[in-house]
Amino acid sequence: MASSETDIVILGGGHNGLVCAFYLARAGLKVTVLERRGVVGGAAVTEEFHPGFRNSTASYTVSLLNPTVIAEMELARHGLRVVERRMSNFLPLPDGRYLAAGEGRTAAEVAKFSTRDAERLPEYERRLEAVADVLRALVLETPPNLPDGGWLDALPEMLKSASVAKRLGALGLTGRRDVLDLFAKSAGDWLDGWFESDPIKALFGFDGVVGAYTSPYTPGTAYVLLHHVFGEVNGRKGVWGHALGGMGAITQAMAAACVEQGVDIRLDAPVAEVLTEKGRAVGAVTEAGDVVRGRAVISNLHPRLLFDRLVDPAVVPADFTERMSRYASGSGTFRMNVALGELPRFTARLEPGDHHTAGIIIAPSLAYMDRAHAEARLHGWSREPIVEMLIPSTLDDSLAPPGQHVASLFCQHVSPELADEDREAVADLMIETVDRHAPGFKASVIGRLALGPRDLERRFGLVGGDIFHGRLTLDQLFSARPVLGHADYRMPVPGLYLCGSGAHPGGGVTGAPGRNAARSVLKDLGRLRRSGL
C-alpha cells in the first residue's frame, strides 16, 4: 500500500479521462490517471479476440471525435490516421436489391426506389446539416447550470449562448421548426415526413435506434439520429471513417499526448473509493489500498458507477442520490467481432467492391426496426435483429493475417438484461442473420467474440450496457446531463467532477466532455486564463 500526492486524480483512463488529463497537464498541473484495466481507452480500444485477429472491441467507427481535440492533442503527430470508407453504407434488401449510399451516389440509388425521394434528398441533407451545425456549436460549450426549472427552460438558455444564437438566427423559421422537430419527434415521424420509400428511411432511421433500445417511432429518437450526424472525418462533415489500428489507435495516441505532458497513467489500478474529508473529495483509494491524494478528483466513470459504488452516500445530497438512482441507462446492443476466412458474398452484390468498406446495415425498413424492438421487449431479443456490419480489414491490413478479415457486428435489439446463458444462441442468430444475405458467411467464421449488455457492463463499466453512459433522452441532455443543476461537470461533492460521457454532450468518441470538464476544473483552480480553453 502506497500513498502519493498529485494535483489532479482522474478515475478511469477512457478517452475522455485522457482528454481531460491532457488539458490539465498542459496547464501545468500534476495529473494521475487510475485505470481499472490493463489498457487505456475504455470503450475505445483495440484488442486481439482470436489468435492473429485484432479489432476494436466496443466502439468501431469514427466521426464524432472533435476536430479541436484532434488538433490540440496533435493526435496525428502521435500516430492517429483516420481513413474514409469508400462507400458510406450498403443495405442489402430481402428482395435481392440493395441501396448503396455515399458521396455522389446516394440520390441515384434512392431513385431506384422513389424518384420523389431522390429529389427530396438534397433538401433533407441541407436542412439536417443546418441543425447539425447548431449542435456542433454546443458540443464544446458548458451547458447553463440551471438549478431550477426543467429541460424546457434549459434548452432556450443554451440556445441563447452567443455562438449558438448567431447560428440559430441564421437558420430562419424553417430551420427553427426543424430544431423543434428533431428535439421532440421520433426518427420515424421525422423521416416519414420526408420520404416514402423504405430503404432510405431505414438508412437514416438506423442512427435513431443505435444504442437506444427503442423503436424508431419512440419520441426523442430523432435527436439520437441527429447525435450521429454532427461528426466529421478529415474535415468532411457527417462522414464516418476508420482509425487505422482500430479505435484503440485513438486512445493510444491520446495516451502518448498525455505522457508527453507528464501525466502519470497507472494501469490495473481499479479505484475502490473516492476519499472525502469534511465533505470534500480529496483523493482516491485503489482496490489494492493505494491512496492518491489531490486537489480535485475527476471521474471518467459512468455516473451511476461513481455514485453507487465509489462515493460515500453520506456526503451526497439525498435528492441527488435519488435522481441518480433513476438515471436511465441501458442499450439494446449486442457486440460481436468475427474472424473471417474470406469476404462475404452478398446475394445482392456478389463481387468484392466498395460495399465491403461500408457500414452494411441489415434492417430494410423502419417497420422492421419497430418489430425488432417490440419483440426484444417481449422475448429478450428479436428473432429478426438489426445488424450493422463493418469489415475494417478491407481498409486496414494491420488487423488480420493476409487474405483474411475481421468484421465488427453491431447488433440491436436485445434486452439490456439478456441472460448470460442466452449469449451464444443470440450470437448464432446474428451470424445467421448476415448469412441470409450473404450465404456462406457462417461457414467463413473462424473465430468470434460475443458481448451482450451485461458483458459490456462487466468489461467496460457500462451500466446496462449503455453505450452512451446513460440514455440520450431529452431529460438527460444539455443542462440536465447527468442531473439538472450539475451540468457544469461539478458534482454535488466539492472537489469532485465528472468528465465522461455521462456529462454533456453525452456518448460517442468525441473527447468533448473531457475537454469541457477540464475547463471547469481550471476555472475553480484559478488557472483558466492562460489555459487556452
**254: closest CA among 199, 295, 300?**
300
Q: On the CB side of 471, how many CA atoms lie within 13 Å of its CA?
A: 20
Q: Helices in 88-231 by DSSP H: which ranges?
A: 106-111, 115-139, 151-160, 162-184, 187-192, 198-209, 221-227
Name the residue with cell 437514416.
204
Instruction: State the DSSP code for 294.
Output: -
Kind and range of the H or E element at 256?
Answer: helix 248-260
Tell me how far, at minimum, the Cβ of 72 lies from ligand FAD, in Å. 17
Nearest approach, Cβ of 166 to ligand FAD (angstroms)? Answer: 27
Nearer to ligand FAD, 40 or 168 (CB): 40
Grid cell 439525498 — which residue? Answer: 318
Amino acid letter for position 89: N
State the minimum distance, in angstroms, from the CB of residue 435 to ligand FAD. Answer: 22
Angle ∠(400,405,406) on CA atoms, nearest 5: 85
Comparing CB distances to ligand FAD, the nearer of 177 and 309 is 309
CB of 37 to ligand FAD, least distance (A): 5
Considering the complex, state which of residue 270 and residue 485 has its C-beta at the smaller distance from ligand FAD. Answer: 270
Q: Read off the C-alpha cell for 406.
A: 475481421
Q: Which residue's CB is nearer to ligand FAD, number 32 or number 186?
A: 32
Q: How many residues does the chain have?
A: 533
Tell me the C-alpha distance between 337 and 228, whole Å: 22
Cα of 216 vs its chain's centroid, Å: 18
Quickly tell me which residue has 460495399 as its cell. Answer: 355
Indicate the pairing of strand 381-390 with strand 359-362.
antiparallel
> CA-CA distances (angstroms) from residue 496 to 6, 93, 491?
15, 50, 6
- Work out how close the CB of 299 gets to ligand FAD at its nearest, in angstroms, rounded to a whole number: 8
Pick between residue 42 and residue 144 the one whose CB is nearest to ligand FAD.
Answer: 42
User: Which of 528, 524, 476 is CA-nearest to residue 503?
Assistant: 476
CB of residue 145 vs ligand FAD: minimum separation in angstroms? 20
Q: Give the shortest CB-183-to-ligand FAD separation in angstroms.
A: 20
- Helix, strand and coil percent figures for the chain, each rounded to 5: 40, 20, 40
Measured from the CB atom, is 38 or 403 closer to ligand FAD?
Answer: 38
Output 127 or 469, the one with its CB closest to ligand FAD: 469
Min. distance of Cβ 16 from ligand FAD in angstroms? 3
Compare residues 348 and 456 and give the one whose CB is closer to ligand FAD.
Answer: 456
Please count the helices (runs of H) and the strands (runs of E) in the chain: 17, 22
Measured from the CB of residue 123, what is the shortest distance to ligand FAD in angstroms?
A: 27
The residues that touch ligand FAD, with contacts defined as CB under 6 A, are 11-17, 34-37, 42-44, 58-61, 64, 270-271, 300-301, 305, 333, 335, 410, 456, 460-462, 467-469, 500-501, 507-509
**Shorter beta-carbon distance to ligand FAD: residue 16 or 479:** 16
Three-state SS for 363? coil
Minimum distance, C-beta of residue 365 to ligand FAD, in the bound complex (Å) = 23
Place of cell 436485445: 414
CB half-sphere exposure, 268, CA atoms < 13 A: 2
Cβ-based burial of 308 (10 A; exposed 0-12, middle 13-18, buried ≥19): middle
CB of 379 to ligand FAD, least distance (A): 22
Beta bridge partners of 362: 387
Q: How far apart are CA 416 and CA 176, in angstroms?
A: 35
- Using DSSP, state whether 469 is helix, strand or coil: coil
Q: Nearer to ligand FAD by C-beta: 168 or 275?
A: 275
Whichever of 121 and 491 has its CB closer to ligand FAD, that residue is 491
